[in-house]
Protein backbone atom coordinates (compact mmCIF):
# COMPACT_ATOMS: atom_id res chain seq x y z
CA UNK A 1 0.00 0.00 0.00
CA UNK A 2 1.48 3.36 -1.00
CA UNK A 3 1.43 6.14 1.58
CA UNK A 4 2.41 9.77 1.06
CA UNK A 5 3.31 11.16 4.49
CA UNK A 6 4.72 14.50 3.32
CA UNK A 7 4.80 16.46 0.12
CA UNK A 8 7.66 15.29 -2.09
CA UNK A 9 8.12 12.01 -0.20
CA UNK A 10 6.64 8.61 -0.83
CA UNK A 11 6.84 5.38 1.13
CA UNK A 12 5.17 2.02 1.06
CA UNK A 13 3.33 0.29 3.88
CA UNK A 14 3.64 -3.46 4.42
CA UNK A 15 2.49 -5.35 7.51
CA UNK A 16 5.12 -7.57 9.13
CA UNK A 17 5.06 -11.35 9.54
CA UNK A 18 1.52 -12.82 9.53
CA UNK A 19 -0.28 -9.51 9.94
CA UNK A 20 -2.84 -8.06 7.55
CA UNK A 21 -4.23 -4.55 7.09
CA UNK A 22 -8.01 -4.44 6.79
CA UNK A 23 -10.27 -1.53 5.82
CA UNK A 24 -13.69 -1.85 7.46
CA UNK A 25 -16.64 -2.03 5.10
CA UNK A 26 -19.33 0.35 6.25
CA UNK A 27 -22.66 -1.13 7.26
CA UNK A 28 -26.09 0.22 6.44
CA UNK A 29 -26.93 3.64 7.86
CA UNK A 30 -30.62 2.75 8.08
CA UNK A 31 -32.50 -0.03 9.84
CA UNK A 32 -34.73 -2.55 8.05
CA UNK A 33 -37.68 -0.34 9.00
CA UNK A 34 -36.08 2.72 7.36
CA UNK A 35 -34.90 4.46 10.54
CA UNK A 36 -31.59 6.31 10.16
CA UNK A 37 -29.03 5.01 12.67
CA UNK A 38 -26.68 7.73 14.02
CA UNK A 39 -22.94 6.99 14.12
CA UNK A 40 -22.93 7.26 17.92
CA UNK A 41 -25.03 4.09 18.34
CA UNK A 42 -24.03 2.20 15.22
CA UNK A 43 -21.85 -0.84 15.88
CA UNK A 44 -18.56 -1.01 14.02
CA UNK A 45 -18.76 -3.49 11.17
CA UNK A 46 -16.94 -6.80 11.57
CA UNK A 47 -16.43 -7.14 7.84
CA UNK A 48 -13.61 -5.61 5.85
CA UNK A 49 -11.40 -5.71 2.78
CA UNK A 50 -7.77 -6.81 3.02
CA UNK A 51 -5.62 -3.95 1.68
CA UNK A 52 -2.13 -5.26 2.55
CA UNK A 53 -0.59 -8.52 3.78
CA UNK A 54 2.71 -9.40 5.40
CA UNK A 55 5.11 -11.99 4.01
CA UNK A 56 4.02 -14.66 6.52
CA UNK A 57 5.31 -16.05 9.79
CA UNK A 58 8.32 -18.36 9.99
CA UNK A 59 8.18 -21.99 11.10
CA UNK A 60 10.71 -23.78 13.36
CA UNK A 61 13.12 -24.21 10.43
CA UNK A 62 12.93 -20.51 9.55
CA UNK A 63 10.88 -21.04 6.38
CA UNK A 64 8.03 -18.68 5.55
CA UNK A 65 4.47 -19.88 5.99
CA UNK A 66 2.43 -18.04 3.33
CA UNK A 67 -0.83 -16.37 4.33
CA UNK A 68 -4.19 -17.75 3.19
CA UNK A 69 -5.66 -14.30 2.52
CA UNK A 70 -4.82 -11.99 -0.36
CA UNK A 71 -5.24 -8.28 -1.03
CA UNK A 72 -8.84 -7.70 -2.09
CA UNK A 73 -10.34 -10.54 -0.02
CA UNK A 74 -13.42 -9.61 2.00
CA UNK A 75 -13.06 -11.03 5.51
CA UNK A 76 -14.93 -11.36 8.79
CA UNK A 77 -13.16 -10.65 12.08
CA UNK A 78 -13.99 -10.49 15.78
CA UNK A 79 -15.49 -7.43 17.41
CA UNK A 80 -12.32 -6.67 19.38
CA UNK A 81 -9.78 -7.84 16.78
CA UNK A 82 -6.89 -5.74 15.57
CA UNK A 83 -5.24 -2.43 16.32
CA UNK A 84 -6.79 0.67 14.79
CA UNK A 85 -4.38 2.88 12.84
CA UNK A 86 -4.78 5.81 10.46
CA UNK A 87 -2.52 5.76 7.41
CA UNK A 88 -2.76 8.36 4.64
CA UNK A 89 -6.14 9.55 5.99
CA UNK A 90 -7.54 5.99 5.84
CA UNK A 91 -8.67 4.14 8.99
CA UNK A 92 -7.32 0.59 9.01
CA UNK A 93 -7.13 -2.37 11.36
CA UNK A 94 -3.84 -4.24 11.68
CA UNK A 95 -4.37 -7.80 12.90
CA UNK A 96 -2.82 -11.24 12.78
CA UNK A 97 -4.19 -13.59 10.16
CA UNK A 98 -5.34 -15.86 13.01
CA UNK A 99 -7.74 -13.12 14.17
CA UNK A 100 -9.67 -13.45 10.92
CA UNK A 101 -12.76 -15.65 11.14
CA UNK A 102 -13.59 -16.24 7.47
CA UNK A 103 -13.10 -15.10 3.89
CA UNK A 104 -16.35 -14.19 2.13
CA UNK A 105 -16.54 -15.44 -1.45
CA UNK A 106 -19.15 -14.03 -3.79
CA UNK A 107 -20.91 -16.86 -5.61
CA UNK A 108 -23.51 -16.33 -8.37
CA UNK A 109 -27.02 -17.23 -7.13
CA UNK A 110 -27.32 -20.06 -9.68
CA UNK A 111 -24.29 -21.80 -8.10
CA UNK A 112 -25.35 -21.13 -4.51
CA UNK A 113 -28.50 -23.29 -4.76
Find out whether 57 and 20 touch, Cβ atoms under 8 Å: no
45-75 pLDDT tens trace: 688 999 999 999 898 998 999 999 999 999 9
The residue extents of the domains of the chain are 11-28+40-106
80-89-13-24 Cα dihedral, nearest 10 degrees: 30
- What pLDDT score was predicted for residue 76? 93
- Looking at CATH, the fold of the domain delimited by 11-28+40-106 is given as 10 Kd Chaperonin, Protein Cpn10; Chain O (2.30.33)
Residue 82 has a CB neighbour count (10 Å cut-off) of 20
- What pLDDT score was predicted for residue 105? 84
18-36 pLDDT tens trace: 999 999 887 655 556 666 6
67-79 pLDDT tens trace: 999 999 999 998 8
Residue 77 has a CB neighbour count (10 Å cut-off) of 20
By CB atoms closer than 10 A (0-12, 13-18, 19+), residue 87 is middle
- What pLDDT score was predicted for residue 3? 47
Amino acid sequence: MRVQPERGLSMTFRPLHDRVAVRRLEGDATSKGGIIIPDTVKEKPQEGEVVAVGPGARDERGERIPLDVRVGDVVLFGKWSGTEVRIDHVDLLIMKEGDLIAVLDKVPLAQAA
